[in-house]
Structure 1
Amino acid sequence: MFSLQPLRENIQGLITADIAEHFLFVRPAVGHHETQQIRKDEAFIRFHQTIHGQRDLIIYGPNGEGTYLMIFSVPMRSAPVATITPQLPNGTAEIIEATNAWLKYRIRQGNRIVKEPTMIDGILNARM
């Protein structure tokens, strides 16, 4: 009987001589590629596009805190300065965080965070 357990840490120094013969350490010298093949933002976008089987803008949410996650169809040159217009009387959108791959936002109606799904009328990138 044997067990195979991939480890990130180097535990060879923790193995004592009396049990060393029970362990085998193997590590590939080189992976498939010697350099990173895709940027993290591209990988993040492609991962979500693959899950949903589409190459368009993807919006998740709202979660329990009323936060939406909008994943762009391609990486932006820089994080957008966006204005989102919700289809809600007296509704406003608050940008929480933006990167060149995704945008997090909440919709408010007055002082209340709207936690129910809400349609949006439009998105404007102020840096176009």
Structure 2
Amino acid sequence: MNYHENGRKIFIEPLTRTTRASCIYGYRVPALDKLDLYTDQISEEDAVLDLSDSGDGPVSFLVFIGPADFVPLGKAIKLTYDAEGYSVAISVDGAPFQVPTGYETHFITFTPEEGHFLKQQMAEDQAMIAYHQAIIGSTEPILYQPNGDGVIRLIFSVQMRIAPKFKSELIDPELYVSDQDVQRDGRSEKVMLKFKVRNRNTGQIIRRQVAVKSIELDARL
């Protein structure tokens, strides 16, 4: 867990292997009436946390990541990701945490000093594969449908030794993948790549799902 606000980081369990709760963030407001009023229509998907009995003083909120069956204490909102096996909860701290003199009217954020571990428990590459395999429920390579920009993500089934060469063959001979349309990220190039499909005649990017005949990934010397 990296905190860009202060450069600090802590180590907790990988999301897909979460077995215990971790407090990852805190937020203290000097008073609820200092927050912006939400005036839009509340939809059925919105969660509402009733704080009408919190009084006029400061209120602290804590953010937790825990297993899917984690039960937060007190007033809380919980979002569960069943396929991935974890949950995120925001709870109201029973006693607002103390702040230095002179900061009582400030909005204060809190980050923990340390997590459950002293070092990372799973390599970032492997964590990415595990996460997507949990979502899809498969250990095979995962090919996502194109997004609005026509970008298709391919998640490898295992981590490659190096960023592999990519070769594809599509069912429709009028469609192709250019080397210039293959996108790689230095942090994930051993487990994922992105690409776009184009029409050979017009060069137009195809933004719909296309039938793939074969994909070859080559990471040999």
Question: TM-score normalised by the shorter chain: which range applies?
Answer: 0.7 to 0.9
Tell me the residue number matched to 1:125: 217
**What do residues 69-91 of structure 1 show as CA deviations (whole Å, max 9, x unaligned)?**
01111111111111111111232
SS, match of residue 131 in structure 2: helix
**Greater share of helix residues, 1 or 2?**
1
Structure 2: which amino acid aligns with 1:78? I
Q: What is the CA-CA distance between 1:56 and the residue it aligns to?
A: 1.2
Q: What is the CA-CA distance between 1:125 and the residue it aligns to?
A: 2.6
Q: Distance in 1 between matches of 2:112 and 2:216?
A: 49
Tell me the residue number matched to 1:104: 194
Structure 1 residues 113-122 or 94-103, which shifts more?
94-103
Q: Distance in 1 between matches of 2:159 and 2:119?
A: 20
Say whether the 8 Å CA contact 1:86–1:107 is kept in structure 2. Answer: no
**What do residues 35-90 of structure 1 show as CA deviations (whole Å, max 9, x unaligned)?**
11111111111111111121111111211121100111111111111111111123
Q: Does residue 1:71 correspond to 2:127, yes or no?
A: no
SS, match of residue 31 in structure 1: coil
Q: Does residue 1:86 correspond to 2:142, yes or no?
A: no
Give ranges in structure 2 of 5+ residues lacking alignment. Answer: 1-53, 64-98
TM-score (norm 1): 0.76
Say whether the 8 Å CA contact 2:143–2:155 is kept in structure 1. Answer: yes
In the TM superposition, 1:2-13 aligns within 5 A as 3-6=59-62
Tell me the residue number matched to 1:113: 205
Count of aligned pairs = 118
Say whether the 8 Å CA contact 2:169–2:176 is kept in structure 1. Answer: yes
Say whether the 8 Å CA contact 2:161–2:219 is kept in structure 1. Answer: no
Give ranges in structure 1 of 5+ residues lacking alignment. Answer: none
- Percent identity between the two aligned chains: 27
Change in 2 beyond 3 A, CA 1:26/1:84: closer
Structure 1: which amino acid aligns with 2:150? G
SS, match of residue 115 in structure 1: coil
Q: Distance in 1 between matches of 2:217 and 2:182?
A: 15
SS, match of residue 198 in structure 2: strand
Q: Distance in 2 between matches of 1:59 and 1:86?
A: 13
Q: RMSD between aligned alpha carbons?
A: 2.7
Q: What is the CA-CA distance between 1:26 and the residue it aligns to?
A: 8.3
Change in 2 beyond 3 A, CA 1:92/1:6: same
Q: What is the CA-CA distance between 1:6 and the residue it aligns to?
A: 4.7
